[in-house]
Copies of this chain bind each other. A is one copy, B any other.
Amino acid sequence: MKARVTVTLRKGILDPQGKAIEGALKTQGLTGIESVRQGKVFDIELSETLVGTAETLLEEACRKLLANQVVEDFRIEILTEY
């Protein structure tokens, strides 16, 4: 089964990366871009076949490693096409 985990910074947390990219896009003359915030995605292959078990497993992975919950939120999507 395939899944995608998206980890984004919590609202209000400073995002130096996003800020620098935003600045770079603006100086490139890409007007119309107001703000950028950067996050991460993890594309994960699982040997698990039950959606429920896979979700539990991924949640544990997020809590343990993929996301830093002090500053980040995460979202898990099971990509059905497998």
With A8-B41, A37-B42 as contacts: A64 and B32 at CB distance below 8 Å? no
Question: Contact: B32 with A54, CB < 8 Å?
Answer: yes
Contact B57–A42 (Cβ < 8 Å):
no
**A1-B34 Cα distance, complex, nearest whole Å:** 10
Interface flags for A21-54 (1: CB within 8 Å of B; 0: not) read 1001100101011111111111111111000011
A57: which B residues are within 8 A, CB to CB? Answer: 30, 32-33
Q: Which residues of A contact B (CB under 8 A)?
A: 6, 8, 18, 21, 24-25, 28, 30, 32-48, 53-54, 57, 60-61, 64-66
Q: Nearest 4 CB-CB pairs, A to B?
A: A34-B45, A39-B41, A32-B48, A35-B45
